[in-house]
Amino acid sequence: MSTEIKSPLPGVFYRKPSPESAPFKKDGDTVAADDVIGLVEVMKSFHEVKAGVAGSNIRFSVDDADAVMAGQVIAEVEA
């Protein structure tokens, strides 16, 4: 069954810890509940987004540096 991972905050979603780095997770990766899958920048401060659920085959529905709303689905995993 697929489970949605939602952004806890509104802001700009980043898939990489810094512009030069590799993404936290690639499409298809397996994640643990505590894994960081991205960052949300809100009002110039950065907040980690954790998967919150263990699962496989993660698929992101937003791109790096896309604007997101609080509660918007940012990825899905098979849990």
Partner 1 sequence: MTLRSVLIANRGEIAVRIIRAAKALGLRTVLAHSIADKESLAAQLADETVEIGPPAAKKSYLNIEAVVNAAKASEVDAVHPGYGFLAENAEFADAVSAAGIVFVGPSAEAIRLLGDKVMARQVAALAGVPTVPGSDGRVTDLDEAIAIAARIGFPVMIKAAAGGGGRGIRIVGDAEEFARQFPQASSEAAAAFGDGGLYIEKVIERARHVEVQILGDGDNVVHCYERECSLQRRRQKVWEEAPAVGLPDDVRQRLCASAVALGRAVGYSGAGTVEYLYDDATNEFYFIEVNTRIQVEHPVTEMITGIDLVQEMLKIAGGAKLSVTQDDVRIQGHAIECRINAEDPHKNFMPAPGTIERLVVPEGEGIRFDTLLFEGYAVPPFYDSLLGKLILRGETRADCLARLREALDGLVITGIPTTIPLHAALARDASVADGRTHTRFLEPWLESDFAQLARAREDA
Q: Verify binding: residue 62, partner 1, rule CB under 8 A.
A: no
Distances (CA, A) of 56 to 10, 50, 68, 69: 26, 14, 23, 25
Q: Of these, 3, 4, 12, 62, which contacts partner 1 (CB under 8 A)?
A: 12
Site residues for partner 1, 40-59, by CB under 8 A, read: 42-45
Site residues for partner 1, 21-40, by CB under 8 A, read: none
Longest dimension (CA), the chain: 36
Which helix (DSSP H) or strand (DSSP E) does residue 13 occupy?
Answer: strand 11-14
The site for partner 1 (CB under 8 A) is made up of 9-12, 42-45, 65, 67
